[in-house]
Amino acid sequence: MPRKAQPEPLEQAVQVLELHPKGGREVPAFYANSVQVLVSLFDVTLIVSQIGLGAEGEPEMREVAKLNLSPQHAKVLAGVLAQRVAAYETQFGPIAVAPNEPQQPS
């Protein structure tokens, strides 16, 4: 019997899930334009926020989610994100981080 190809270690640890209407459960979706990263000996915390204008036109930061990860899981997630960003840039071109930032050679 042929063996199935083993997924890459990063893919085993972090599965990228696609949400389908027939998926059975609703998962909240958030837009974030700010992420704070807090680190301790035992965990990594991501505080996801939206920065926009408040009622009086002043800048306002509204936290929308907090995610606590083990340092090991955070490291694997960082690797998977790096892979996905690299694949995105291969397909669509370099991502400019700041509007007037010179493009770095790939």
pLDDT in tens, 42-85: 999 999 999 998 888 898 999 999 999 999 999 999 999 999 99
In the prediction, which pLDDT does 2 show?
A: 54
- Over residues 2-29, the pLDDT tens digits come to 555 555 555 545 555 554 555 667 778 8
Give the structural domain span for 39.
28-92
Q: Read off the pTM.
A: 0.65
**What CATH number is attached to the domain comprising 57?**
2.30.31
> What CA–CA distance (Å, rounded) separates 45 from 61?
17
101 falls within a domain: no
81 falls within a domain: yes
Determine the residue type at 19.
Answer: L
48 falls within a domain: yes
12 falls within a domain: no
Q: How many domains does the chain have?
A: 1
36 falls within a domain: yes
